[in-house]
Amino acid sequence: MTASLLGVYRQLRGLINENERDSLTGLLNRKTFDEAFVRAAMAMDGPCGLLGPDAERRDAPIAARHWLAVVDIDHFKRVNDQHGHLIGDEVLLLVAQLMRHNFRHGDRIYRFGGEEFVVMLRCPDAQAAEGAFERLRRRIAKHDFPRVGQLTVSIGFTRVAPDDTPGAAFERADQAVYHAKQTGRNRTVDHACLAPSETPETAPLGELEFF
């Protein structure tokens, strides 16, 4: 099953725009993030977009803010060490698939490299955003990954402000992920709920190695 699944995705690589898509998962890649982020920061108002087939529908045409989340697979190195990189790649493919089903058609999902993903979506408030990210966390925790079994993710998210930069927003979400990891993993953390002492310094976005 693993070799067959990976074979199908590798055949599809030729149809993927390498400048915009991650070659393994088909998700958007790091190169497209900055431009999309700037557009989002400049357009803070508008109705929520259409939802994916398995996401909770929000039909009310209310004003929406943009939110950015970092999603990190817990103990992913252990998967590669115990089962090999072929199984690790299958896990990444399945996580990407679960993310597509969880979020709306208009939400943007990126693979930043390794086991780290970024999501940018529109929701009216922090409660709605946390609900969307919590649904993903629960969905992944319940999924039975072939040969691996159960896996979890830690999620940190932040509201995108009109004057934000991609690096600043990413850093806040990354700090929230760090807090989730330090407090037990398999959690969703809003950066706005962290005390100053709980926000460690992280490297600016341009200094991070994603691939």
Residues of the chain below pLDDT 70: 1-4, 7-18, 43-63, 197-211
- Which domain does 66 fall in, by range? 2-207
pLDDT at position 202:
52
Tens digits of per-residue pLDDT, 42-81? 765 444 433 444 444 444 445 578 999 999 999 999 999 9
Is 115 in the active site? yes
Q: H/E/C letters for each residue in the chain?
A: CHHHHHHHHHHHHHHCCCCCECCCCCCEEHHHHHHHHHHHHHCCCCCCCCCCCCCCCCCCCCCCEEEEEEEEECCHHHHHHHHCHHHHHHHHHHHHHHHHHHCCCCCEEEEEECCEEEEEEEECCHHHHHHHHHHHHHHHHHCCECCCECCCEEEEEEECCCCCCHHHHHHHHHHHHHHHHHCCCCCEEEHHHCCHHHCCCCCCHHHCCCC
Which residue of the set 115, 116, 130, 171 is catalytic? Answer: 115
pLDDT at position 93:
97
pLDDT at position 64:
72
Q: At 121, which CATH number?
A: 3.30.70.270
pLDDT at position 198:
61
Split into its structural domains, the chain has a count of 1
pLDDT at position 96:
98
pLDDT at position 46:
43
